[in-house]
Amino acid sequence: MVREWRRLKKIDDVTYIGECDSEHPAARVFGGHVLAQAMSAAYYTAPEGFYVHAVHCYFIRGGEESIPITYNVKKIRDGRNFSIRYVEAVQHGKVIHLAEFSLQKLASVKDTFSLTPEFPAHVPGPDGLVSNITGRHQKVAEGFDARELRGQVTERMAPSLEIRPANLDMFLHGTGGVNQKQYLWIRYKIPVDKSDYMLRHATIVYLSDLELVTTGALCFDDKMFKLLTSMDHSAWIHQYEFDINDWILYEQECVANSNHRSLIHGRLWSRDGRLIMSTSQEVLIYKTQPSRI
């Protein structure tokens, strides 16, 4: 049975303990999981009617899936229309993750004007596409080396999500450095009550950390990498109301690379063409060095 990622225990008004959602914890915790739990902790301390609109965080150390994470919330400011929360995620007495959240009072929004880029309507819909997990299994059965296949192992680290790449071959094999953009359909499989806006918002932040490292590697033609990891992550929520259980299109593009760091911009779209969220992430990439004879 797939478990919900949000399992926080309240210690006091500004301290919470979270657990990992992997059923068989054996590795580093998924960064999006830590970010989403930190966002939930921030929400629990915020004034009523205030919604998170901006997120900025740093992935400092790899967390352990088998060890509970302590979330310490600092109330930076509670203004008339905006609030700021700062959250530290701690394991073994060390900070593994830092996050800042800005919240807007929904009742303060009076202007109905909005501007959005054009929805990428050329992308095939999720129906009929193969999931990343099924595609990986098929490639291995065909004789491909699993170590040379790209993409995060979401089957273990994010079991509550389903991902269907619009171009499976690009997703698993890259493009030889030719293309730096890809599209993924993502769906949260556990039903979310429409009235639970905290879970809805934190869940889309949870999935917003997925596969940006894979997109960051599109500019390389290498088959294997020594290291692919997220360094920091930012997200801006444009729409507070959306269906987190419907398919969401994640448009990702690697826009720059230097000094082992790739910068990826992302857009998350609803199926009806609304821009829900924008993201930006820097990932650290070390290529595997060729063996010396």
Q: For the segment 142-179, what is each residue's pLDDT rounded down to a tens digit?
A: 888 877 777 776 776 778 889 999 998 888 888 777 77
Whole-number pLDDT of residue 107: 86
Whole-number pLDDT of residue 112: 79
Whole-number pLDDT of residue 23: 61
Residue 267 phi, psi (nearest 5): -135, 135
d(CA 5, CA 69): 13
Distance of CA 122 to the CA centre of its chain: 24
Whole-number pLDDT of residue 1: 45
- Residue 14 is classified by DSSP as T
CB 183 within 8 A of CB 253: no
Spans in the chain with pLDDT lower than 70? 1-4, 21-26, 153, 156, 289-293
The model's pTM:
0.92
The beta strands (E) that lie in the chain are given as 8-12, 15-18, 50-59, 69-78, 82-91, 94-105, 161-165, 181-188, 225-237, 248-258, 261-270, 275-287
Whole-number pLDDT of residue 219: 80
The sign of the torsion formed by the CA atoms of 215, 216, 222, 227 equals negative
Whole-number pLDDT of residue 293: 47
Q: For the segment 87-114, what is each residue's pLDDT rounded down to a tens digit?
A: 999 999 999 999 999 999 988 888 778 8
d(CA 168, CA 282): 23
Pair of tokens at residue 63:
């967390």
